[in-house]
C-alpha cells in the first residue's frame, strides 16, 4: 500500500567523526575534510560549494569484496561493478546491546545467532545481518575505545561469520568502526569478518546508527555505495524501510 516507516541508519559526515586507527606500521585512514571553494562571494558570487577529501572507509560506509586480500579476485568485487540489485534487500537485526554494554570486547558467537533463530526463524538467504550494539550512541574517544593494546569494541568471532555464510547472507553490518571487533587482529584468521565475508564475495557496512529503531525481521535496506571506479568501499546513505508502519 506504499506505507513504510523510513529509518536513516547514517551518521552525518563530519570531520570530527572518528576513523579507524591501525597499528602504526600500517598506512592510515584520512579523516573527512571539506574545503570551501566559494560561498556566494568573489570566488563565485551566486553559489556555494566544497571540495571533499576522504578515505573510502570514512563514516557510515560500505565494504566491497576487493577491500580484503581474500576477495581481491572476486568477480564484480569493486563498488562500481557490484550488481545494483545487491543494494536493495531484506535485513535482520541481532540485538547484542545488553552484552556490549557490559563488555567492550563482547563477541557475537554462533550460539547467539542460533538463539536468535529460535526466536525469529532462520536467517533468510541473501539478507543483510546487522549486529546491534548501541555503539553508535558513544561519543568522542569512547567510540574507538583505544587502549595501550589497541581498540576495544564488540564484533563477531570467526565461527559466527562462518555460520552466517552457511545461511547465504548478502552482508554483515555493525555500529562500530569496522565489521570486526576492535581486537579482531588476534583471531585466526585476523579480522575474520573482513577475511571471510569478502573472500566469499559478501559485503560489509560499518558505522551504522539507529539500529535500535529496527525490528528483528521484516525491514528492507537500501544501501547503494558511490560508483567509484575500482573502489574498495564508499561512504553512503543507508535507509531502512519498515513496511506497514508509518513514521
Ligand atoms: C583497513 C584495515 C583494517 C580494517 C579496516 C580497514 C576496516 O575496518 C574498514 O573500514 O574496512 S579492520
Ligand atoms: Mn570499511
Q: According to the 3-state scheme, what is the secondary structure of 8-25?
A: ECECCCCCCCCCCCCCCC
Q: Which residue has the cell 548478502?
A: 170
Per-residue pLDDT band for 133 (boundaries 50, 70, 90) equals very high
Cβ-Cβ contacts under 8 Å for 107 (sequence gap 6 or more) = 154, 155, 156, 157, 160, 181
User: Ligand 2 centroid vs 206 CA: distance in angstroms?
Assistant: 6
pLDDT at residue 245 is higher than 90: no
User: Does residue 1 register a pLDDT over 80?
Assistant: no
Q: How many angstroms separate the alpha carbon of residue 81 from the centre of ligand 2?
A: 17
The environment of the single-atom ion ligand 2, i.e. residues with CB closer than 5 A, is 57, 63, 233
Average pLDDT over residues 165-170: 98
**Residue for grid cell 565489521:** 179
Closest CA to 60 of 217, 222, 219: 222
Among 59, 192, 194, 232, which residue has the most ligand 1 atoms within 8 Å of its CB, making it the best to mutate? 194
Which stretches of 175-231 are assigned E, i.e. beta strand? 203-206, 219-222
By most ligand atoms within 8 Å of CB, the mutation choice from 172, 178, 183 for ligand 1 is 178
Per DSSP, which regions of 84-164 are E strands? 88-95, 107-108, 128-132, 146-147, 150-151, 155-156
The residue nearest atom 2 of ligand 1, judged by CA position, is: 22
Measured in angstroms, how far is the CA atom of residue 158 from the centroid of ligand 2?
18
What was the pLDDT predicted at 246? Answer: 86
Residue 247 has pLDDT above 90, yes or no: no
Q: What is the pLDDT of residue 182?
A: 97
pLDDT tens for 33-52 read: 999 999 999 999 999 999 99
Buried/exposed 178-215: b ≥16 CB within 10 Å, e otherwise = bbbbbbbeebeeebbbbbbbbbbbbbbbbbbbbbeebe
**pLDDT 10s digits, 86-119:** 999 999 999 999 999 999 999 999 999 999 999 9
For the chain, the average pLDDT equals 97
Amino acid at each position: 500500500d506504499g506505507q513504510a516507516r523510513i529509518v536513516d541508519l547514517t551518521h552525518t559526515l563530519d570531520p570530527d567523526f572518528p576513523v579507524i586507527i591501525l597499528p602504526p606500521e600500517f598506512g592510515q585512514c584520512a579523516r573527512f575534510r571539506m574545503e570551501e571553494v566559494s560561498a556566494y562571494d568573489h570566488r563565485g558570487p551566486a553559489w556555494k560549494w566544497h571540495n571533499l577529501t576522504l578515505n573510502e572507509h570514512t563514516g557510515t560506509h560500505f565494504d566491497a569484496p576487493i577491500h580484503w586480500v581474500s576477495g581481491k579476485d572476486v568477480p564484480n568485487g569493486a563498488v562500481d561493478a557490484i550488481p545494483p540489485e545487491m543494494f536493495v534487500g531484506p535485513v535482520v537485526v541481532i540485538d547484542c546491546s545488553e552484552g556490549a554494554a557490559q563488555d567492550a570486547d563482547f563477541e557475537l558467537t554462533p550460539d547467539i545467532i542460533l538463539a536468535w533463530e529460535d526466536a525469529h526463524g532462520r536467517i533468510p538467504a541473501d539478507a543483510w545481518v546487522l549486529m546491534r550494539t548501541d555503539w553508535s550512541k558513544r561519543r568522542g574517544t569512547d567510540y574507538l575505545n583505544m587502549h595501550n593494546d589497541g581498540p576495544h569494541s564488540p564484533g563477531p568471532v570467526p565461527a559466527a561469520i562462518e555460520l552466517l555464510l552457511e545461511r547465504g547472507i548478502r552482508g554483515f553490518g555493525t555500529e562500530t568502526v569496522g565489521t570486526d571487533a576492535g581486537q579482531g587482529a588476534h583471531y585466526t584468521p585476523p579480522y575474520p569478518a573482513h577475511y571471510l565475508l569478502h573472500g566469499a564475495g559478501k559485503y560489509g557496512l560499518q558505522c551504522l546508527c539507529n539500529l535500535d529503531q529496527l525490528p528483528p525481521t521484516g525491514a528492507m535496506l537500501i544501501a547503494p555505495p558511490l560508483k567509484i571506479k575500482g573502489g574498495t568501499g564508499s561512504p553512503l546513505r543507508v535507509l531502512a524501510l519498515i513496511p506497514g508502519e508509518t513514521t
